[in-house]
Amino acid sequence: MKLIIDAGNTTTKLAVFQGIKMVEKYVVKEKELKNNFKKIIKKFPNINKSILSSVSNLSKEDVSKELNHISILKLDHKTKVPFTNLYATPNTLGVDRIALIAGAVSQFPKKDCLVIDVGSCITYDFVNKQKEYFGGAIGLGLKMRYTSLYKNTVNLPLLAPKQVDTFVGNSTENAIHAGVTLGMQMEINAVIEDFSNKYPALVVILTGGNADFLSKRLKNGIFVVSNFLLEGLSHILDYNTNK
């Protein structure tokens, strides 16, 4: 069994995998990590390997103190991955994006894949059917767009995300929702269309915390996978330990 650790800026996701199947998932704050590690090890004593993907201060040494009998792989740009990384600055490539591409080549082999992650930021990452990763794009996420309008203007309010039916807002609030949510969905559809024109058999994967919210107005044929990053980390761990 495997323990997957995805340490973000505000929360950490802990997932237990049996083979390629996720059997348990926890989303915890940093101060809750120690107790949750103990709970997981007690419930799943057969866990024998783990992978850590961290964009926070959580280090391999921190994890080793709690999982002292378990082998831990720390993901970074030097970790062996199941694709050819053609990114010009691999040392600056986020570990989350590495995991997403690993998930794509694992679940959709010999396919041109566009992975769209709609979390704090929105990222677009492309890998071709030869497993060559070229890079992608990074933009403002849904919450960032609302927050930016509020912080960088005098009179616009801070709103929670809401779907609207038209791009012509009949109030300031509806105009903001149209510009942010519909604007973001139009952006995503335009990117998909551009890639699809070049790669007719393109596979599009939408993931991240806002995937379900945004998918309602996106084009058909998109795979919406909420735990795609965790699945990618699981595949990287297997790729490094099953040889």
- Known catalytic residues? 96
Residues near 113 by beta carbon (within 8 Å), at least 6 away in sequence: 101, 104, 105, 126, 127, 128, 202, 203, 204, 205
Q: What type of residue sits at position 81?
A: V
Query: Are 72 and 60 within 8 A, CB to CB?
Result: yes
Q: Which two tokens stand for residue 180?
A: 């942010």
CA-nearest of 69, 78, 65 to 34 is 65
